[in-house]
């Protein structure tokens, strides 16, 4: 039986999901853990299903005890704080799980990434594990694509039920918000399939009536070594669309990521898949633990994630 010493930096909605999945995975394997929380405000009560599983709570602003060395540090605080959190815990972590993106800026000191390159430092990319994209990877000759078109369109006020969208980080540029960086998942899976673009053009702006100061639309056109890519991202679509169209010589494949459907448009074949969100996020957590246990290589390191971040800014 193995014991894991773990730290969570921040515990928002995605942090809570990762926390629960980590506990469930470790318990299912018959292992044990203690989890410390580093929070910006200790006065806020923790949910009743999380509190009993917490070892200790610390104020994030305080200095970390010199004897603390965690098997894994989960960085799940607001986007604008990711880079600084990694810097702060660099000497206190044997591995990192960093919620996407690795930073909200493309103008940071990259020597930090080199400094943590000798330990597993994984940047989250859960959409890769979505069953639709897994089906594409395993069953379609996606590398033969003549062209690719992708979209992620949804309504920001619906993202976090019970929370005023105007107060969340997505709404504010200085907190790391903006649809291009918020939906970095799309560029992650597109580069995972087709590699980094050699040329890229983008339009990014705030054009809707949403009460935000971050970009609510980002449109990209890119060229890789083998194909062309069109990508549309927005915060204002009233009907959620998340899809990729792959234009192959013999057929056009419509991949409805949001609804778990793959359609071969010429052949007329339709595949229905299960896309329950937490299922593929749990797969990613297991993937991360396989990485830190030396079972598989790290396929989403900070250097790759930083290059993907640059793409969201139209930089290559």
pLDDT at res. 315? 78
CB 59 within 8 A of CB 39: yes
Kindly state the average pLDDT of the residues 17-39: 97
Give the pair of three-digit tokens for residue 145: 């694509």
pTM, entire model: 0.89
Q: Where are the domains of the chain?
A: 3-126, 131-274
Q: Give the span between the Cα atoms of 207 and 274, in whole angstroms.
A: 35
Dihedral sign for Cα 171, 177, 179, 184, please. negative
User: Residue 117's pLDDT band (boundaries 50, 70, 90)?
Assistant: confident
Kindly state the average pLDDT of the residues 166-176: 91
Q: Give the span between the Cα atoms of 135 and 271, in whole angstroms.
A: 9
> Tens of pLDDT along 217-260?
999 999 999 999 999 999 999 999 999 999 999 999 999 999 99
Task: Look up tokens 């079972």; give the residue.
Answer: 295
- The domain 131-274: what is its CATH number? 3.30.360.10
Beta strands in 10-133 (DSSP E): 32-39, 54-59, 72-75, 96-98, 121-123
Q: Give the span between the Cα atoms of 158 and 163, in whole angstroms.
A: 9
Question: Does pLDDT of 58 surpass 90?
Answer: yes
Give the pair of three-digit tokens for residue 144: 């033969």
Give the single-character DSSP code of 279: H
- The domain 3-126: what is its CATH number? 3.40.50.720
Kindly state the average pLDDT of the residues 82-109: 94
Identify the CA nearest to 82 among candidates 51, 96, 103.
103
Chain-wide mean pLDDT for the chain?
95
Question: Does pLDDT of 316 surpass 70?
Answer: no
Q: 10 Å Cβ neighbour count for 18?
A: 23
């Amino acid at each position: 039986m193995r014991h894991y010493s773990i730290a969570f930096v921040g515990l928002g909605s995605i942090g809570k999901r990762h926390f629960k999945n980590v506990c469930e995975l470790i318990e299912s394997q018959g292992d044990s853990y203690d989890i410390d929380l580093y929070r910006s405000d200790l006065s806020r009560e923790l949910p009743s299903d999380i509190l009993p599983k917490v070892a200790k709570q610390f104020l994030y602003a305080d200095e970390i005890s010199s004897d603390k060395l965690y098997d894994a540090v989960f960085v799940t605080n607001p986007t604008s704080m990711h880079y600084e959190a990694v810097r702060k815990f660099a000497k206190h972590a044997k591995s990192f799980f960093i919620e996407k993106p690795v930073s909200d800026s493309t103008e940071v000191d990259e020597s930090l990434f080199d400094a943590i390159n000798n330990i597993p430092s994984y940047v989250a990319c859960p959409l890769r594990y979505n069953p639709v994209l897994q089906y594409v990877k395993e069953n379609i000759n996606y590398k033969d694509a003549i062209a690719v078109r992708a979209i992620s369109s949804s309504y920001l006020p619906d993202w976090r039920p019970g929370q005023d969208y105007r107060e969340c980080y997505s709404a504010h540029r200085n907190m790391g918000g903006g649809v291009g960086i918020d939906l970095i998942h799309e560029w992650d899976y597109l580069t995972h399939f087709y590699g980094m673009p050699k040329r890229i053009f983008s339009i990014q702006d705030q054009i809707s009536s949403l009460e935000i100061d971050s970009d609510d639309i980002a449109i990209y056109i890119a060229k890789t070594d083998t194909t062309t890519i069109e990508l549309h991202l927005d915060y204002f679509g009233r009907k959620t669309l998340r899809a990729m169209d792959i234009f192959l010589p013999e057929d056009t494949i419509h991949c409805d990521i949001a609804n778990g459907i793959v359609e071969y448009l010429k052949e007329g074949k339709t595949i229905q898949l299960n896309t329950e969100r937490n299922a593929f996020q749990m797969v990613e957590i297991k993937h991360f633990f396989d990485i830190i246990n030396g079972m598989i290589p790290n396929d989403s390191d900070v250097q790759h994630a930083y290059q993907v971040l640059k793409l969201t800014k139209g930089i290559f």
